[in-house]
Amino acid sequence: MATFFAGESHTFSEYLLVPGYSSTDNIPANVSLKTPLVKFKRGAEPPLSLNIPMVSAIMQSVSGPRMAVALAQEGGVSFIYGSQPVEDEAAMVAEVKSYKAGFVVSDSTLTPENTLQDVIELLERTGHSTMPVTEDGGAHGKLCGIVTSRDYRLSRDDRATRVAEFMTPLEKLIVGEEGTTLKEANDIIWEHKLNTLPIVDRMGNLMHLVFRKDYDSHKSNPDELLDTHKRYVVGAGINTRDFAARVPALVEAGADVLCIDSSEGFTEWQKITLAWIRERYGDTVKVGAGNVVDAEGFRFLADAGADFIKVGIGGGSICITREQKGIGRGQASALIDVCDARDAYFEETGVYVPVCSDGGIVYDYHMTLALAMGADFMMLGRYFARFDESPTRRVNVNGSYMKEYWGEGSARARNWQRYDLGGSKKGLSFVEGVDSYVPYAGPLKENVQGSLLKVRSTMCNCGARTLCELRDKAKITLVSATSLVEGGAHDVVLKDTDQSINFRS
């Protein structure tokens, strides 16, 4: 006879927070969102913490170097996707670790032989109007000039015009030399009233761009997450097949934390992977594991040595595991069960193993619910895929800007390692994810800050100024289908269709 769980399997949308007493100190400015990323012993400080409870998913369509830098600037961590060759993933990690704040590697580079039509298409794809021109079109090729929106007029210029004919040529540019510091670069920008300063090496090859707007941005990142060498913190995904080659390469590249990327973590494969890492690196390499959906799965991975444990199967917006296999559990029910197990494990062993809620976040308020239910932090895919910093193309679909978004279990990703059940077969025989679009939402910074302002405000309504306090003080109630209708605008004729105040995260 099968084991049956009591009660129904619930999602975040089936719950609401009930307000608690708020003192005059309960204002968003007083709220700290700092949270442990990896396990620690009672009375000790966590070896790694997040300044905001958000990490980006281990997905091709979400977490590349640009996302990693942008999220670290806000206080979170990206996990560079592992469904790529070892050397490519290690190179991405190294790129993040070598990033110099304020110095940008161009992702919108042209050749002199490109045309105005190419400029328009590149602008459409990246959203960046400043485009360096190099001899070979590479980000580090010999600099020939630069194109900005001031160099052409779409209303009158021929789309076939070569870039060489309308770019601002190198001889008219002010450039910085290799070794220029950020302060020196910004002094040049202000002195010459520039928007952009190219930095070139002694051979005239483009190295970086420094933007006027990034100076203010750098000064406004008080929560940025740095390692002991003042480099951005970055994570990386691994699998249970080639870990013996992948882990050393990622550690050498400077990855601060690893995570086993798997659709289901209650397996001997993950135990073997964790044991291999502990045997060779001890506790110096931090590695998360998962995913699980119940207390038994949590205990298995905690005993196996996981530094944090991910919760969630089938709750992601592009995941169809539940449809295909009938495997999973409502994200809220899974999270509550696992967090109870985490607290019991802490009481028994004195070791606190953080829990990451992975999937099921649709609205911003779901984040606060997840944290109130016990999650230490959240892993988000669709949320981050919408931003400029995700690795995918921005495309126009029926008049609206979208970003491409596909699951690791989709035919496009073919990430067989994530769904590996052993054996010699090296391909997915059926898909567990879809290929899709998500509405383009602009830059990460303003979106993350907007979402977290809602989290802080709700915490104040609950009388909490820290995430620990939120878990202690939160009062949560199940809601009926009728209550869900009552919770939105109803029985009125809306004057305009702008729903930004209830925007989906």
Catalytic residues: 319, 418
Look up tokens 């060759």; give the residue.
85
Q: Which of 89, 368, 415 is nearest to 247 (CA)?
A: 89
Residue 111 to residue 138: CA distance in whole angstroms: 8
Q: CA of 69: how far to CAs of 52, 107, 108, 167, 232, in Å?
A: 14, 14, 18, 30, 7
Q: Is the alpha carbon torsion for 237, 242, 248, 250 positive or negative?
A: negative
DSSP reduced 3-state for 16: strand
Give the distance, in angstroms, between the CA of residue 244 and the centroid of all CA atoms in the same chain.
Answer: 26
Q: CA of 314: how far to CAs of 232, 239, 324, 459, 478, in Å?
A: 31, 19, 10, 28, 21
Asked if residue 11 lies in contact with residue 360, where contact means CB atoms within 8 angstroms, the answer is yes
Q: Which of 237, 176, 183, 228 is nearest to 202 (CA)?
A: 176
Q: Which of 204, 210, 193 is nearest to 169 (CA)?
A: 204
Q: Is the alpha carbon torsion for 463, 487, 387, 392 positive or negative?
A: positive
Q: How many CB atoms lie within 10 A of CB 142?
A: 16
Q: How many CB atoms lie within 10 A of CB 493?
A: 5
- End-to-end CA, the chain: 41
112, two tokens = 């002199």
Asked if residue 356 lies in contact with residue 375, where contact means CB atoms within 8 angstroms, the answer is yes
Asked if residue 147 lies in contact with residue 170, where contact means CB atoms within 8 angstroms, the answer is no
383, two tokens = 């949320």
239, two tokens = 């699998």
DSSP reduced 3-state for 424: coil
